[in-house]
Structure 1
C-alpha cells in the first residue's frame, strides 16, 4: 500500500493534526532523539504545550510499546497497542479517560493517528515476520518537535527558578521589615512605627506558592521600596543617638574637669545653701518605659472600651483607671490587684490586666493567672516584652498561641 492515511476514523480532522503531520514530514530524516529525554522535557513544559499529567501518563504508556530507547524517522514509529493493553500500562486508567487523553495528545500535536479502514489498530506482517504496514499511533511528531520541547522546558525551569528567588526575597524582606518595625515599637523609638505596621499589614500574607511571576515581581518591588523607608527611619535614629552620646560624653568630661566642690556630692542628692542634703528630683526620676502607651493600646485595644465616660485612654493614669474597672469584671480580687501593683508597678500591672482582657476567653481564671504572673515578676522571671510583641505580631492571635507566648514570657 503506497498511501498512508493521516485522518482519524470516525472523528473530525483538525488544523492541529494537519500541522503536526506537515512538521513531521519536513523534519530531516537523519534526526534521532532519546524518547525518555523528550518525555522529561514535556513534563516540565506541559503548561506551555497544553497537556495534562494524565495525558503524559498515556504518552508514557505509548512509548513503552516502542522497543528502542531512541526515536528515529528512519525506523518504524507506529505503535498499535489495544486499549486494554494501554489501560494496564497507564496504571488501570478508565476507558473513557484513556480515550479522552489520547484525543488530547493528538490535539496537542504530540502524536498522529494512522487509523486503518475500520479504525482498528494492527500490523500486517510479510514474509519472514517483518512488518509491512501498521495502523495505530505515529510518534514522529515527538522527533520533529524535540528541539521545541527542550526550549520550552528550559524556559519553564528559568521561570520556576525566578519564582523561587522572588518568593525567597519576599520572605526575607517581610522578615526584615516586620522585625525592624517591632523593634521600633518595642523600644519606643521616635518615628511613624505604628503607621509602618499598618502599611506592612496592608501587604497581606505571604503569596501562595502558585502565585504568578508578575504578581511576585510587583510585590517584591513594593517591599524593597518600603524596606528602604523603614530601614532609613531606624538608621537616622541610630545616627542621632550616636551624636547625642558623643555630646553627652563630652559634657561629662567637661563637668569632671570642673574643680567646683559642689559637683562632688553623692549622685542622687544635691547640697542646699544651708549645707543640708536633699534628694535630687532629676536623679530620682522614674526610668523611661520600654513601651509607649500607643503601642500598648495597639496591642490591647479592648481595654479602651472600659474608660470612664468613654473618653478613651490618653494617659498612663487613664490606663490604670480602666484596668481598675476591668479587674472585677475579670474576677480579679482586690488583693491580687494590689499585690500586682506593688510588685510590678501600677503601669505594668495595668498593661498585664489589659493583655489578660485581650485574650480573656483563653484564660480559665484571670485572678489566679495574675497572681501567678505576679509571683514570677517578684522572682524576676516575667517580662511584658514577649506579651506585647506576641499581640502586635499576630494582631489578635488565637488563644492557644497567645497563652504559649505568655508562658514563654513567664519562664
Structure 2
C-alpha cells in the first residue's frame, strides 16, 4: 500500500512543484471514492485539447490503466501499477522505448500520473505472507481518481463548444447560401438596386472567414452576414411590392413557351405525318369516317373512331365539357374489354377502381409511358378514365409503336372534346367476343 509521505524521483530526474502538487492532490482522495476507469478515460479523450496532452500520451495512459485489475478505480486500493517498459510497449502496439519514456514524462508533467520510484528505480511490488500487496513501486493512478470531477466537467465543456461550433458553421453556411441565391435572382431578373455592392460586401465577409473557425470568431462573422441578408431581403421585398407580380405564390417554375404545340415530348417517339393524299387518308381514318383499315397506323387504332363527327374544313369544334363527356364507365365493362390488366392488380385481381388505378401505374411503367404523360391524362380525363385508357393500350400493345405518344394524343383530343371512351371499349369487347363465337 502507498505511504503517506512525499516521494521524489529516482536518479537525475528533478523534483518539480507540479509533481509535489500532484502528490498532494492524490493524498486527498477519500477511501470510499470510486470511478469507472474507462468512463474516466473517455472524459480524458474528450478533454484532451484543454489538458494539453497528445493522443499518443493517452494511448500510453490507456495501457497503464489496463494493468489495474479492477473496472473501478477505488480510493481504498493501492492505485500503483508497475509494468515494465517491455510490457507497456506490447500494449501500446510496439511503441519504441524512447517514445514510451517521453510520453510517460508528459503524463507526469500534466499531473495525470505520479511516480513512486523504488530505491533502485525499478518497478516492482512487495507482497505480504497472505499474498496481498504490501508496497508497490511504479506509477500511481491516484491523481486520476482525485481529479475525476474536473475531467468530467472539462469533457462536457469541450463537447458543448464542439456543438456550438457545429451550429455556428451550419448557420453561416445557410446564410451564405441565402445571400448568394438572392443576389443571383436579383441580377437575373434585372431588379433595380446596387446589387454589385451587395455582392462585393458578401465576398469580403466570406473571404474574412478564418480557415480554422472558433466560436469566438464565427459569432461576429455570422452577425455581419445576417445583417447583410436582412438588408437584401428588405430591398427585394420592396421591389416585389412595387412590381405587384401576377401569379400563383406557389408557382416556382418559369413559363416555357413552345412554338410547336403539337410536338410530342422529348421522352417519347413522335408521330410521323405523311404528306399528300396518304396523310389526308390517315387523318380521315383517325377521325373515324370509316372503321376499315389496318389496326396498326403509326401507333393509333383505326378501329377506335371517336363518337363525334369530323368537323368540316374551316369549322373548329367547340370543346365539350370533359367532366360530363368522360364519366367513368362501369368497372365490369372495363374488365370485360381489358382482361389483360387483371394480372397486374393487387394479388392478381381487380375488385375496385382503386385496384385498377394501382395496376395502371404498374402497366404505365411497363409500357414506358412517362409519368408526366400519365399525370396529364389523369388531370384531363380523370383518374378512372386514365387508368381505363392504359388498360385499353395494354390490350393492343402489340399494335402501338409508342404508348406514351398515343396517350398524349388521346389526352389532347379529349381536351378539345374530340374523344370518348365508349367506342374504344366496345371495339375491344367485340374483339374479345369474336374467338368465342367462332369456337361455337
Q: Give the structure-2-normalised TM-score.
A: 0.53
* Partner-residue secondary structure (3-state), 1:190: coil
Corresponding residue SS for 2:130: helix
The CA distance in 1 between the partners of 2:218 and 2:3, in whole Å, is 56
- Matched residues in 1 for 2:146 and 2:23: separation? 10
**CA distance in structure 2 between the aligned counterparts of 1:117 and 1:5, rounded to whole angstroms:** 14
In 2, Cα distance between equivalents of 1:101 and 1:201:
45
> Partner residue of 1:177?
179
Contact 2:35 2:148 in 1 (8 A): yes
Q: Does 1:108 align with 2:146?
A: no
Provide the residue aligned with 2:38 in structure 1: 36
Q: Structure 1, unaligned stretches of length 5 or more?
A: 247-411
Q: Is residue 105–residue 111 contact of structure 1 (8 Å, CA) maintained in 2? A: yes
SS of equivalent to 2:139? strand
Q: Which runs of 5+ in 2 are unaligned?
A: 248-440
Three-state SS of the structure 1 residue aligned to 2:119 is coil
What CA deviation, in whole Å up to 9, does each residue of 1:224-260 have, x standing for no partner?
1111111111111111112x879xxxxxxxxxxxxxx
Write out per-residue CA displacement over residues 300-339 of structure 1, whole angstroms, 9 at most, x where no aligned residue: xxxxxxxxxxxxxxxxxxxxxxxxxxxxxxxxxxxxxxxx
1:350 aligns with none
1:74/1:151 Cα in 2 relative to 1: closer, same or farther (>3 Å)?
A: same
Quote the Cα distance in structure 2 between the aligned partners of 1:56 and 1:152: 16
Aligned twin of 1:132: 134
Q: How far, CA to CA, are the matches of 1:95 and 1:50 in structure 2?
A: 22
Which residue of the other structure, out of 82, 85, 104, is the alignment partner of 1:83?
A: 85
Whether 1:148 aligns to 2:168 is no
Residue number in structure 2 paired with 1:22: 24
Q: Does structure 1 retain, via aligned residues, the 8 Å contact 2:209–2:221?
A: no
Is the 1:32–1:72 Cα contact (8 Å) retained in structure 2?
A: yes
SS in structure 2 opposite 1:27? coil
Number of aligned residues: 245
Structure 1 length normalisation: TM-score?
0.57
Whole-Å Cα distance in 2 between the matches of residues 28 and 130 of structure 1? 21
Contact 1:171/1:206, CA 8 A, preserved across alignment: no
Post-superposition CA distance 1:31-75 (Å, at most 9, x none): 111100111001011111121111111000000000100001101
| Distance change (3 Å), C-alpha of 1:145 and 1:213 | same
Paired position in structure 1 for 2:240:
238
Give yes or no for contact 2:9–2:116 (8 Å, CA) kept in 1: yes
Change (3 A) 1:202 1:209: closer
**CA deviation profile, 1:136-195 (whole Å, cap 9, x unmatched):** 000000110000000001111110000000000000000000000011111111111111
Partner of 1:48: 50
Give how far 1:208 is off: 6.2
3-state secondary structure, aligned to 1:93: coil
> What is the CA-CA distance between 1:4 and the residue it aligns to?
5.1
- Match of 2:73, SS? strand
SS at match of 1:136: strand
Aligned counterpart, 1:167: 169
Counterpart in 2 of 1:197?
Answer: 199
CA 1:128–1:245: 2 relative to 1, 3 Å? closer
Q: Distance in 1 between matches of 2:139 and 2:182?
A: 62
Task: Verify: 1:67 aligned to 2:60, yes or no.
Answer: no
Offset of residue 6 of structure 1: 2.1
Radius of gyration: which is bigger? 2
The equivalent residue for 2:429 is none
The separation in 1 between residues aligned to 2:182 and 2:173, in whole angstroms, is 14
Give the CA RMSD over aligned residues.
1.9
Q: SS of the residue aligned with 2:65?
A: helix
Look up the SS of the partner of 1:127 in the other structure: coil
Q: Residue 232 of structure 1 aligns to a residue in which SS?
A: helix
Q: Which has the higher helix share?
A: 1
**Structure 1 match to 2:10:** 9
Contact 1:65 1:79 in 2 (8 A): yes
